[in-house]
Amino acid sequence: MELRQLEHFMALCEEMHFTKTAEKLRIGQPTLSYQMKALEDELGVRLFDRLGKKIAITEAGEILLEHCKMVFANLESAKDQIEELQNVKRGKLVIGTLPGDLNHIASMVLLEFHSKYPDVQIQIFSIDDVVEKVIQNEIDLALTLMPGKDERLTNISLYEEEFFLAVRRDHVWSERNAIDFKEIEHIPLILNPKGHSFRQSLDAACSVAGIQIQPIIESTDSKSILNLVKKGIGATIISDTLFSLENEGVLKAIRIINPAIIREVTIVHHKQKHLGTAAKGFIELLISHVNRWNMHCGKTLFYS
């Protein structure tokens, strides 16, 4: 069983077509077919079912594919660690964040990071499925909400923060300092759409409380939502961090109680992925920035 053979197997799993895969690999189709047949003979199982011109991966093929991914991830990790031994501070660091204030928090450290690691190319993506991207080894680190328990992941807790109902200061509710969670059902809300991570957790909390919310406007852009609220169009539910960053004195934050809406913000990376000097440096800078911000705002700290 050779590495090139396994690379070709993974490529075929991606394309699920012998001719297209051979063209992509720039080899002849008979060569690819021979390699897959030799692999099946060596393992004593069928890796693909041939259905005319189409193919389908078998259960044995799925098992081999999963292990191939780990093999090549480990090889890449070994390469990274060897480069670290040579003190090579270069390469690329890919960061993922949930959309909104977490993207802003990650961006806060860019200037200092670039000053410290000028030869490292850094990319920051704001995406909803950021944890899945870490699991698939498509990004190095993620700034996100604490995910469910997953043995593949390492979580570094940063802080907890509360969500508030944000209204314009002349809103009919602006004289109140707190509202009961169930009362939000009767407020015209502007929220993220259902696919957004916070909206999913909010809908789950509403389900537990036995209420339903029907936003008057939905948007993926948090700044657009806040601009609408500032203009007196409805209210929104917003994190303490984003409220502090975007308020400008126009809005009032009203505490939500019974229950309060609390989230835990965390850094996530794959347990099997080697974290190089740059990645560890980014984490240290991020923790430092977040702790300074949290001390200023009085949030709960996990690191000092």
Predicted local distance difference test score (pLDDT) of residue 302: 40
Least confident among 18-27, 97-106, 124-133, 248-257: 97-106
Question: Is residue 161 within 8 Å of 223, Cβ to Cβ?
Answer: no
Delineate the domains of the chain, giving CATH numbers in brackets.
3-84 (1.10.10.10), 89-158+264-301 (3.40.190.10), 161-262 (3.40.190.290)
Give mean pLDDT, residues 123-137.
Answer: 88
HSE-CB for 139 with a 13 A CA cutoff:
25
Question: Is residue 243 within 8 Å of 227, Cβ to Cβ?
Answer: no
Assess whether pLDDT exceeds 60 at residue 198. Answer: yes
Between 81 and 240, where is the model more confident? 240
| pLDDT one-digit tens code per residue, 204-226 | 889 999 999 999 999 988 888 98
Q: What is the H or E stretch that residue 45 is in?
A: none
Kindly report the average pLDDT of the chain as a whole number. Answer: 85
Assess whether pLDDT exceeds 50 at residue 300. Answer: no
Between 104 and 24, where is the model more confident? 24
Predicted local distance difference test score (pLDDT) of residue 303: 37
Sign of the torsion angle spanned by Cα atoms 136, 285, 247, 202: positive
Between 54 and 85, where is the model more confident? 54
Question: Is residue 271 within 8 Å of 153, Cβ to Cβ?
Answer: yes
- The angle formed by the CA atoms of residues 236, 133 and 118, to the nearest 5 degrees, is 95
Look at residues 68, 53, 52, 49 and name the one whose alpha carbon lies nearest to residue 3.
Answer: 68
Predicted local distance difference test score (pLDDT) of residue 304: 31
8-27 burial, b at 16+ Cβ within 10 Å, e below that, comes to bbebbbeeeebeebbeebee
DSSP category for residue 58: -
Range ranked top by mean pLDDT from 33-42, 48-57, 276-285: 33-42
Predicted local distance difference test score (pLDDT) of residue 63: 94
**How many Å separate Cα 94 from the centre of its chain?**
11
- For β-strands 300-301 and 153-168, DSSP reports them as antiparallel
Question: Using 50, 70 and 90 to split pLDDT, how confident is the model at 140?
Answer: very high
Look at residues 297, 259, 253 and name the one whose alpha carbon lies nearest to residue 164.
Answer: 253
Q: Please give the backbone phi and psi of residue 97, each rounded to the nearest 5 degrees, phi first.
A: -135, 155
Range ranked top by mean pLDDT from 11-15, 126-130, 288-292: 11-15
Predicted local distance difference test score (pLDDT) of residue 89: 57
| pLDDT one-digit tens code per residue, 108-122 | 888 888 888 888 888
Q: Please give the backbone phi and psi of residue 158, each rounded to the nearest 5 degrees, phi first.
A: -105, -55
Helices (H), the chain: 3-15, 18-25, 29-43, 59-85, 101-107, 110-116, 130-135, 197-209, 222-230, 240-246, 277-297
Question: Using 50, 70 and 90 to split pLDDT, how confident is the model at 301?
Answer: very low
Assess whether pLDDT exceeds 90 at residue 179. Answer: yes
Rounded to the nearest 5 percent, the helix, strand and coil shares of the chain are: 45, 25, 30
Give mean pLDDT, residues 157-174.
Answer: 88
Instruction: Give the Cα separation of 20 and 145 in Å (integer).
Output: 40
Please list the residues that pair with 135 across neighbouring strands: none
Assess whether pLDDT exceeds 90 at residue 50. Answer: no
Assess whether pLDDT exceeds 80 at residue 231. Answer: yes
Give mean pLDDT, residues 5-10.
Answer: 93
For residue 16 the two structure tokens come to 């699920």
Name all contacts of 46-55 with Cβ < 8 Å and 24+ positions apart: 47/9, 48/12, 53/17, 54/16, 54/17, 55/12, 55/16, 55/17, 55/18
Instruction: Give the Cα separation of 121 and 134 in Å (integer).
Output: 18
How many C-beta neighbours within 10 Å does residue 170 have? 9
Burial of 248 per CB tally in 10 Å (0-12, 13-18, 19+): exposed
